[in-house]
Amino acid sequence: MYDRTIASILQNDFSADFSKHKSYNNYVRLFQLYDQLKNKQQEELSKDTIFRSILDTIETGIILLKKEQEEWSIFLMNDYFSNHFTIPKVSKWNYLNNHIPALCSIIEAAHFKEMKTTLQIRIDQQDTQTYMLQTSKSQTFGQTYYIIMLDSIQKVVEKKEKEAWINLMKVISHELLNSLTPIQSLSQNLNELVQQDYLSKEDLEDIRMSVATMLNRSNHLQEFVDSYRRLAMLPSPNKEKVVLADLVQSSINIMQPLFKARRIKITNTIDFKRWIWVDKNQMEQVIINLLTNSMYALDENEKKEITIRVEVKEKRVYLIIADTGIGIDSAIEDKIFLPFFTTRKEGAGIGLTLSKNIVEAHGGYLAFKKENNQTVFTVCLFES
């Protein structure tokens, strides 16, 4: 009995049932150990099943390699990878190399080191597709694992575009309903009033107020459509050689009366000349939009300061505008560049979107981050 129990433990075979031998008093502790290891194995199997199920639901190709001596073997391949590349769940690296040499060769050339790059893969005579390849290495309990993740660039872009359209439609629908709902309600009320044979002073006052409200909401809708047109029909930049310091100072001068009225201290640390190749009017609009955004963010703060600085790295100019405002709530961080999204009651919600579009039309980018309790916007442009 002792030998049978120990042999089962050593072979990880917990199919036997020793409960009927509990009368063997000398083996009570041994049976307890057996049951404990059996439960541990079942728990690990359950975890493994759950983890594999999670990996199989992810729409990213994932392969987990395991190093055995000096060779790599496939420890795990998720369903998406197997189905997308029409490869059975094999265990040999050489078999995978025969099917996707473009993938395996780039990994072997990097000697199985961590990397992040793009590559071209063609599947079954189909058109070549671009993929994002990301790898990482991990060691645990003396075992070395290598994780490979493949994402179709087209799929990622389509997903981002779909999310952007969904968010945009939510904002547009919200804006339209805010105007159409009261207009519809007031129209019904007016229709009922004009059906009467006699109109009292109160009825006439209701008509005047209803017409005024409908006119107001119609004007709001017109402004909304005009804002959309401005975004959709942004003209191509008419670039010229401009001194960045002069451009920034010109924008500050335009905003100075507003800063003075709100007692906002603005510090411009740009003390050198850098030439940039931009559309002067469009880029001035970007700077004014960012300064305006910072100005409103300082409304509820005692410390009202805006700092402007420039950094130059690898022929790129980084214009940085930081304020001591309340910052951007993490819940809306992914929405601030969305058209018509705004947290201000009187805001149109196109300032940051327009600024982002203008900067990108110049071949640069607009980004933001939280840094030392400040909100920091960065405009990246190329030097002329």
The identity of residue 133, as a single letter, is L
How far is Cα 255 from Cα 348, in angstroms, rounded to an integer? 19
Together in a domain, 204 and 184: yes
Output the pLDDT for position 338: 66
Supply the pLDDT for residue 46: 81
- Domain range for 194 is 156-232
User: In this predicted structure, what is the pLDDT of residue 146?
Assistant: 93
pLDDT at 147: 93
Task: Say whether both 127 and 47 belong to one domain.
Answer: no
Q: Which of 85, 100, 381, 378 is nearest to 241 (CA)?
A: 381
Residue 381 phi, psi dihedral angles, 5° rounding: -135, 160
Place of tokens 């790295």: 313
Handedness of CA 318, 319, 325, 326 (dihedral sign): negative
> Nearest 5°: phi and psi at 320?
-115, 125
CATH of the domain at 334: 3.30.565.10
Q: Which helix (H) or strand (E) holds 217?
A: helix 201-232
Residue at a domain's end among 168, 197, 232: 232
What pLDDT score does 41 carry? Answer: 82
Distance CA 281, CA 288 (A): 11
pLDDT tens for the chain, 384 residues long, are 778 778 887 888 877 776 666 666 677 787 788 788 888 888 887 877 887 788 888 888 899 999 888 889 898 899 989 888 888 887 788 888 888 888 899 999 989 999 888 888 876 666 677 888 899 988 887 889 999 998 877 666 666 666 666 766 776 676 677 777 778 888 888 888 888 888 888 888 888 888 888 888 787 777 766 766 665 566 778 888 999 999 999 899 988 888 888 898 999 988 888 888 898 888 998 999 899 888 888 877 788 899 999 988 877 889 999 988 776 666 666 667 766 556 565 555 667 888 888 888 888 888 888 777 778 899 998 765
145 and 178 housed in the same domain: no
Per-residue DSSP letters for 27-59?
GHHHHHHHHHHHHHHHHHHHHHHHHHHHHHHSS
Do 204 and 275 have their domain in common?
no
Compute the C-alpha angle 342/344/347, nearest 5°: 70
148 and 177 both lie in a single domain: no
179 and 309 assigned to the same domain: no
Give residue 88's pLDDT: 84
C-alpha to C-alpha distances, 380 to 113, 178, 361, 363, nearest whole angstrom: 31, 37, 12, 9
- Predicted pLDDT of residue 246: 92
Q: In terms of C-beta density within 10 A (0-12 exposed, 13-18 middle, 19 or more buried), how is residue 371 classed?
A: exposed
- For helices 351-361 and 201-232, give the axis angle rounded to 10 degrees: 20
Co-location of 214 and 310 in the same domain: no
Total domains present in the chain? 4
Distance CA 332, CA 341 (A): 10
Same domain, 296 and 374: yes
| Distance between CA atoms of residues 363 and 381, nearest Å | 7
What is residue 258's three-state secondary structure?
A: helix
Identity at 320, one-letter amino acid code: I
Residue 15 confidence (pLDDT): 77
How many other CB atoms sit within 10 Å of the CB of residue 111?
Answer: 6
User: What local confidence, expressed as pLDDT, does residue 342 receive?
Assistant: 63
pTM: 0.47
Same domain for 250 and 374, yes or no, is: yes
Kindly list the distances between the CA atom of residue 355 and the CA atoms of 209, 246, 373, in Å, as whole numbers in the listed order: 38, 19, 23
Q: Which amino acid is at 88?
A: P
Same domain, 333 and 225: no
Residue 201 sits in a domain whose CATH number is 1.10.287
Tokens 């992914």 map to which residue?
A: 334
Residue 142 sits in the same domain as residue 179: no
